[in-house]
A and B are shown apart, each in its own frame.
Chain A
Amino acid sequence: MATLLDVRGLSTHYVSARGTRVTRAVEDVSFALDDGETLGIVGESGSGKSTLALSLLRLLPPGARTVAGTVRFDGEDLMRKSEAEMRHIRGKRIAMILQDPMASLNPLFTVGDQVAEPLRVHEGQSRRGAWERARGLLGAVRISAPDMRVRNYPHELSGGMRQRIVGAIAISCGPRLLIADEPTTSLDVTIQAQYLALLRDLQRAQRLAMIFITHNLGIVARMCDAVAVMYAGRIVESGPVRQIFNAPKHPYTRALIESIPRLGEANGRLTAIEGQPPDPAALPEGCAFHPRCPARLEKCATERPRDSIVGAGHRTACWLHG
């Protein structure tokens, strides 16, 4: 399988308006994704995962700048492309879904207009042709009565349906890669299950590669082939999903997995991680996790651990492992 996306040494920083504070939101992140593969990027608030997603598509807000790294998509470095070239890539070859469907949809335009828009922009379709395709896409995302729905406005639909519309817009031009940033966080449990099943089916049908950005390990367990765990802007562990769940090597990953209550297991005490996630603008010296780490060594407080290989395709950055 060909490597679709190859990210090396990506770093994105936020600089405050006065130029005084530098927040290293994403620091030296590297990972790779094959065709049709699903990668889960797991992190909590302040981990940098959303900034990472925006960096890939160069959609950063003012004040943020990617300062280093390459993002090779299908062999070409996206960081070197002009804004005009990126416009051709966004929506057409790489698509993105965000958390809040109500914010992703324009309340003033019908569903049909919005699903048709990428088709008209990227494929030069006529209005009628695009609307035909839009109806088909609504069917593909399992919206009932698409002929009627296509004329609805976003506020007339439920949260689950809106998120499907967002999905329809995303897949409309047949992208190779879909980046989903917390797409189900605002959805009810059963609606979430529907949506994830839909995404999985779409992925199989279109050979879509996906990057799933989430704080929810359950989504990773269900949907992903590979995982990258982020903490304070860096990837602290990455590898195939079973390996990570069966034998997590980084104390943070391990603690995360153990801290989540499990259905059907004895109701003992949960393993909790002390302290709180660090402020990205004021990171600790050495390993960013060391103040909370149950297994910290002396050198963790002074030297940042290097990436090391701990298994097949399994890497971690921790002094306990080299």
Chain B
Amino acid sequence: MTPLLEARNVVKHFPVRRGLFGGSDKAVRAVDDVSFMIEPGSTLGLVGESGCGKTTTAKLVLLLERPTAGEIRFDGESLAALDAEGLRRYRHSVQAVFQDPYASLNPRMRVGAIIAEPLVTNERQLSSAEVAARLQKVLDLVGLPARAAQLFPHEFSGGQRQRIAIARALTLSPRLIVLDEPVSALDVSIRAQILNLLKDLQRELGLAYLFIAHDLAAVAHMSHVIAVMYLGRVVESGAARTVAREPRHPYTKALFAAALPSHPDDSRDEIVLAGDVPSPLNPPPGCRFHTRCPHVMPHCSTDEPALASVDGRDVACHLYDPAAVSSGARS
């Protein structure tokens, strides 16, 4: 089965201007050789902390930014080669929901107009009756009453606004929705509602999701595949259950260990990393994680590890080099 979305060695650097006349010798290496796949109807969870490049990845998928190198393919077609018609079809198929429910909706537009906007922009031939029918359908799908269309965003709570944003994303019957921290800004008691809704919609409509979050438990709950990013690279990726239950990369382990327990008696190995996350302007040489890694070895600071298949998932770590494995250095 062709993956729905495939990223191959995608690179995105943001040049940093210096001096009067430009001349960018420095760049923020936001995304540095990232590859992943999303199968139709499944969820890829992207986890990482600030500066890891997950938001930039989302922007690349949404064509809000163009890659510096590498390519992204949708349904086998390269995004770089899209003409105007192809771009229109892409917009049909890929929509987004962002983090802040208070900034995602134009405060001067009625909710009905906000939700219908993708439809009226891309399907101009539809009559207003057809648009209205679709509007009612998506409002129903997200559990909002029909009269919501007449109201303005400020009359809704955070959770309801996020439903409006989801309704809008559904209007064009997309095949992939990019969800960038969709519940982080919501109250705890509302998050479950929205996560349940997203799961239901996935089942009913066969949607694929690119789910980006820093809340590991939410990502593990929602995703079929998890990719862990650190400073612009994928350090571990595989089936969600596999990665979450038995992480292999030291960063993934630290990340999951750092996730807060759900019960006071939840014993988790405490792995407290030293130091701060380095800046993407100046990533450490060799393995980018080596400055904070509790298992750092001499060649970690010179050789960058490549993603290799280990125990049913991909890991980029010298601890799992065939040579290291055979000398018993596995942890």
Is the beta-carbon distance between A216 and B272 smaller than 8 angstroms? no
Contacts of A193 in B (CB 8 A): 254, 257-258, 270, 272-273
Do A263 and B263 form a contact, CB below 8 Å, given A188-B49, A188-B50, A277-B187? no
CB proximity of A212 to chain B, nearest CB, Å: 12
* Chain B residue with Cβ nearest A195: B272
Instruction: Decide if B109 is an interface residue (CB 8 Å cutoff).
Output: no
Q: Which residue of B160, B218, B244, B276 contacts A191 across the interface (Cβ within 8 Å)? A: B276
A216–B216 alpha-carbon span in the complex (Å) = 14
Is the beta-carbon distance between B199 and A269 smaller than 8 angstroms? yes
Contacts of A259 in B (CB 8 A): 188-189, 191-192
Is the beta-carbon distance between A273 and B193 smaller than 8 angstroms? yes
Do A273 and B189 form a contact, CB below 8 Å, given A218-B261, A264-B244, A264-B245? yes
Is the beta-carbon distance between B221 and A190 smaller than 8 angstroms? no
A residues apposed to B, CB below 8 Å: 44-45, 144, 158-161, 188-194, 197, 215-219, 221-222, 241-242, 245, 255-257, 259-264, 267, 269-274, 276-277
A162–B265 alpha-carbon span in the complex (Å) = 31
Contacts of A264 in B (CB 8 A): 220, 244-245
A sample of 25 inter-chain contacts (CB < 8 A) reads A45-B187, A188-B277, A189-B214, A190-B49, A190-B277, A191-B277, A218-B261, A222-B261, A241-B264, A245-B263, A255-B189, A256-B188, A260-B188, A260-B217, A260-B262, A261-B217, A262-B262, A264-B244, A267-B220, A270-B195, A270-B221, A276-B157, A276-B158, A276-B160, A277-B187
Extra contacts besides A193-B258, A261-B195 (13): CB < 8 Å? A44-B188, A189-B258, A190-B277, A192-B258, A218-B262, A222-B260, A259-B189, A259-B191, A261-B220, A263-B256, A264-B220, A276-B157, A276-B190
Q: How many CB-defined contacts (below 8 Å) exist between A and B? A: 127
Interface residue ranges of B61-77 to A (CB < 8 Å): none
* Chain A residue with Cβ nearest B278: A158
Is the beta-carbon distance between A221 and B258 smaller than 8 angstroms? no
Is the beta-carbon distance between A189 and B49 smaller than 8 angstroms? yes
Interface residue ranges of B219-244 to A (CB < 8 Å): 220-222, 244
Contacts of B266 in A (CB 8 A): 221
B residues apposed to A, CB below 8 Å: 49-50, 157-160, 187-193, 195-196, 199, 214-218, 220-222, 244-245, 254-266, 270, 272-273, 275-277
* Chain A residue with Cβ nearest B260: A218
Is the beta-carbon distance between A261 and B187 smaller than 8 angstroms? no
Contacts of B262 in A (CB 8 A): 217-218, 221, 257, 260, 262-263
CB proximity of A144 to chain B, nearest CB, Å: 8
- Most chain A CB within a 10 A radius of its CB, from B49, B221, B260: B260
Q: Which residue of B187, B220, B264 contacts A245 across the interface (Cβ within 8 Å)? A: B264
- Most chain B CB within a 10 A radius of its CB, from A189, A219, A222: A189
* Chain A residue with Cβ nearest B258: A193
Contacts of A257 in B (CB 8 A): 262
Contacts of A190 in B (CB 8 A): 49, 254-255, 258, 273, 277
Do A221 and B221 form a contact, CB below 8 Å, given A197-B272, A255-B189? no
Q: Which residue of A256, A263, A277 contacts B244 across the interface (Cβ within 8 Å)? A: A263
A145–B259 alpha-carbon span in the complex (Å) = 28
A263–B267 alpha-carbon span in the complex (Å) = 12
- Most chain A CB within a 10 A radius of its CB, from B49, B50, B159, B261: B261
Q: Which residue of A189, A194, A273 contacts B259 across the interface (Cβ within 8 Å)? A: A189
Is the beta-carbon distance between B264 and A194 smaller than 8 angstroms? no
Contacts of A144 in B (CB 8 A): 275
Is the beta-carbon distance between B276 and A158 smaller than 8 angstroms? yes
A255–B190 alpha-carbon span in the complex (Å) = 11
Is the beta-carbon distance between B160 and A221 smaller than 8 angstroms? no
A160–B278 alpha-carbon span in the complex (Å) = 12
- Most chain B CB within a 10 A radius of its CB, from A188, A245, A261, A272: A261
Contacts of A263 in B (CB 8 A): 216-217, 220, 244, 256, 259, 262
Q: Which residue of A215, A241, A245, A267 contacts B188 across the interface (Cβ within 8 Å)? A: A215
Contacts of A45 in B (CB 8 A): 187
A121–B160 alpha-carbon span in the complex (Å) = 48
A264–B195 alpha-carbon span in the complex (Å) = 17
CB proximity of A11 to chain B, nearest CB, Å: 23
Is the beta-carbon distance between A276 and B159 smaller than 8 angstroms? yes
CB proximity of B85 to chain A, nearest CB, Å: 39
